[in-house]
Structure 1
């Protein structure tokens, strides 16, 4: 009887131990299930992030490709503009060369200055060569010079020609039919325009008459010599604006 009780006690002790182990195992299983769930969620989050990164990378790649395409188009457009400007530069340098060649015989360099600036040819002629003081009647000597200028102008029919009159700041003589230096500068430029059209057959639709009065001096009007420098007429040979604007309006391809 005593033996049986001892065996029963041992069985109960083993059962209790097993129950304790079972409970411990269940807790571990629960913990492992929770860990597995967390790992699955982490995996899903990681996959989603990878997917988002893939989409982002594709979008960024597409944007980069589009940007490079646009830059390539702009580069082609810029190169085309540069080529056009180089062509204009070359053309205007040639015009300046022919002008200097035409005018070098018997002309004082101080009376005529030819420059090329930003694809435009500037011919500056001292008014002592063109007009008498206070007058807008072209002298005989000036007509010879204008004839040589007209020869070169007519050889470049695609270019416009602006005649720009300048005076010093000495007021126009009272009682004169000319009101002021504005009027004198415009009348002088108009006289040259008429000569180029009527005597030398320059197409009138290419000619522009402009007067700047005394407001764009080369030097200060403080000595007779400086005043003489400021009394001048500029003949400006330039590309037609509509041609240049047409070039700018072309789409880059």
Structure 2
């Protein structure tokens, strides 16, 4: 993918915005954008995060890419209205983090959900015959409850993912694992509380984060602007109005339904009230 670019932007700060749930499409866009930041040799990156989190693997890939880029580019993350769970995780890839005092953040933990429709299926007289190669091949099947061994297997999976999350936060924020575990129990907290816990470095707006990134890059904050790397719209989306015809609330609801269906049975770094 070729991003629009002019030489004069080398003295500007790149800006990438992360909004909504983190999944495959978000990961693809961000990895392409981060590659462009490196190739075009932007001196600094402002990473604006407004996300409740998302899938574990996608969050980890974004974090790893940010961590690699940090060797060449100054990165400052700005937590917006909400930066929770997987949003926190990718923020750990930044060199510094700024949050608003009222930012909703935290929710450090893992969740895995499945649907059990066994009673409903019994009521309407529907049953399934399953042929499987092993006792756990249909784990989290929607037509039956979990067995105790299955619960143990899934809990071990969740615990491993949780340890990865805690270890990353501890290393990124120079905290001990025990310190992180003391507040990494799924709770949410404000930006002010996050500062006190050591999750963020400063309180401030996105503009404050932009100025800090400029200073770190040796640029004049008063004369340095951001060049936003936006996700290009497909030709089809430009021709067809699609979801732009519906209300934002309805469109967001459709996005959530799609996300829930596609991630059922997957461990998630996600906060959803």
TM range, normalised to the smaller chain?
under 0.3
Please, what TM-score do these two structures have when normalized by structure 1?
0.28
Higher relative contact order (CA 8 A, sep 6+): 2
**In terms of Rg, which structure is larger?**
1
Q: Which has more helix, going by share of residues?
A: 1
Please, what TM-score do these two structures have when normalized by structure 2?
0.26
